[in-house]
Structure 1
């Protein structure tokens, strides 16, 4: 299992992972284009992947422009193995070396993702978009969480 920074050659496999999820699915897969992935990975922020035998099985992308976690997804068969937590931690470590601004994300209620972010120490601050829960993480909260791990 290899964790590394994502590159443009990974976009095709990242899209496969994104469209394999059973929760927080896209109503239309064309809503997230390859160009979007490229922009978020190279201009707006950075991404990371986890690969097993040269196959990407999970990825995360942080957006510095909007101080947002743009994506954190795993193929369903690789859930509950600590991969999401590792991608999450790599991403937040990088994010908070770039800025001290709080970061936010939105996710659907009553999902494994909601439980995951609560377990990771995110704070619910309201709603976002169409019925999503909005979570935030501050630099100080992340530093404290890391010190307790």
Structure 2
């Protein structure tokens, strides 16, 4: 597997992953357009992909304008292989290198994603949108989470 920065020519495969997920499914796939992806990858922030045999199997995108994690998805066929965590950690390291503003995201309640973010040290901050769970993370909380992860690895 290869982890690398996302490029605009990856968008077709990014959309395949986004529309393959079993949780946090888009009610209307047209809500996230290729144009939106270009904007988030080139103007608003940055993205990363995980590629296996030339096929994108996961991606993450951070938004510096709204201080938001816009997307983090792994194709269902490749879940539980550490791809989401690697994309997550890469994205947050980059985000907090760029700015010190708190970052937030939202995800469906009672989902594996919600549990994943809680395990990564995200703090619950109420509800967002149509009943999604809102999470927040500060630069200091991220630094503390990295220390916890390092301590676990060293043990």
Residue deviations 1:96-146 (CA, integer Å, cap 9, x gap): 000000000000000010000001000001110000000001000001111
Distance 1:26 1:118 in 2: 22
Q: TM-score, normalised by structure 2?
A: 0.95
Alignment pair present for 1:29 and 2:29? yes
**Larger helix percent:** 2
Residue deviations 1:40-95 (CA, integer Å, cap 9, x gap): 01100000000000000000000000000000001001111100000000000000
Residue pairs, 1:13-52, within 5 angstroms: 13-52=13-52
Which stretches of structure 1, 4 residues or longer, exceed 6 Å deviation after superposition? none
Distance 1:19 1:62 in 2: 19
Q: Which residue of structure 2 lines up, in the alignment, with residue 147 of structure 1?
A: 147
CA RMSD of aligned residues (A): 0.4
Number of residue-to-residue matches in the alignment? 149
Distance 2:107 2:119 in 1: 14
Q: Which residue of structure 2 lines up, in the alignment, with residue 94 of structure 1?
A: 94
Q: Which residue of structure 2 lines up, in the alignment, with residue 132 of structure 1?
A: 132
* Runs of 5+ consecutive residues of structure 2 not aligned to the other structure: 150-155
* Runs of 5+ consecutive residues of structure 1 not aligned to the other structure: none
Distance 1:40 1:132 in 2: 21
Q: TM-score, normalised by structure 1?
A: 0.99
Secondary structure of the residue aligned to 1:125 is strand
Q: Which residue of structure 1 lines up, in the alignment, with residue 153 of structure 2?
A: none
CA-CA distance at 1:147 after TM superposition: 1.7
